[in-house]
Amino acid sequence: MHEPGEHAGGEARVSMDITAEVRQRFGSRYAGIWYGGSTLFVAVVDRAAADQDVAAEIPHMGADIEVVSAQFSEAALTEFRDAVVQIMADGRQLAAGEPRVFGVGFGVHNNDFSSAGQPVVSVLVSDHDPDLLSRIRTLVPDDALEVRVIQPPRRTR
C-alpha cells in the first residue's frame, strides 16, 4: 500500500519532493499522483483549465505532468481509510476463519495508471462476506473504494 495521495504505476515511484510540490500548489484540492508510462498524472478535485499551467511551472517535471479530475480529495480519502483501519483493528478479536480486513491503503482504481485513473481507498479482505462489505461501504463511498480478496496467511506449526 502507498502513502496518502501517492500511487506507484508499474516500476516507477513518485518522489516525495514532487509530491510535496504538487500538494503545495494544489492545496486541499489535491487527490493523488501516479506515473503512467512517461506521464506523471496529478489528480485534483474541481479541476480547472488553469491547473495544467500551474503544473507546468513545477521545475524539472512540469512538462511531463497531466492534471486530471478526481472525485475525492486526499483529505477525504484519508478519512475513509482511517475509518476502515478501525475495522481492521477490531478484527484482532475475531476467531480464526472469521471474515476480516487484512490491509487498507491507497491505490488507483483498477490499476488504471492513465488519465482515466481515479484515486481510491484500497481494502484487502479475507472474503466477500456481505456483512463485512456492508460495514466497509457505510464508511467509504463506492466511487472511492476498491476491495480485493486475498487468501489469509496460513500458519505453520
At 153, is the pLDDT very low, low, confident or very high (cuts 50, 70, 90)? Answer: low
pTM of the model: 0.83
pLDDT at 80 over 60: yes
The DSSP bridge partners found for residue 35 are 40
pLDDT of residue 76: 98
Q: What does the pLDDT read at residue 131?
A: 94
d(CA 72, CA 128) in angstroms, rounded, equals 25
Task: Give the pLDDT band (50/70/90) at residue 59.
Answer: confident
Which has the closest alpha carbon to 109: 29, 16, 37, 9? 9
Cα 71 to Cα 111: distance, rounded to the nearest angstrom: 17
Q: How confident is the model at residue 10 (pLDDT cuts 50, 70, 90)?
A: very low
